[in-house]
Structure 1
Amino acid sequence: IVAGVLVYFLNSKWPDLVIGGIVFTFVMRGALRILKLSK
């Protein structure tokens, strides 16, 4: 939601890409942790 507001007001795609990258990092860290625990 924050990324959408920033994109709207700044008229730039960068806030969406940055926040998307941060979310992707958290998801990948969690996925790797689950894979390590399953071994």
Structure 2
Amino acid sequence: MPVKKGRDFNEMLTLRQLEYESKAHRLNTVYAVGLHKKEN
């Protein structure tokens, strides 16, 4: 079977990027909540 390397590679990168972004967003949210609790 032929391997469509370019497209699959791009999809993999996109999925990985989304994963990193969601992780970063979660960390930022936790960090922001932590700062907010310290202020109060």
**Does TM, scored on the shorter chain, surpass 0.5?**
yes
Counting aligned pairs with the same residue, the percent is 13
Cα root mean square deviation, aligned: 1.5
Which structure's relative contact order is higher, taking Cα pairs within 8 Å and 6+ residues apart? 1
| Stretches (4+) displaced over 4 A | none
Residue deviations 1:1-39 (CA, integer Å, cap 9, x gap) = xxxxxxxx8211211100000011111100000001110
**5+ residue gaps in structure 1?**
1-8
Give the structure-2-normalised TM-score. Answer: 0.66
**5+ residue gaps in structure 2?**
1-7
Give the structure-1-normalised TM-score. Answer: 0.68
Aligned residues, how many? 31
* Structure of greater Rg: 2
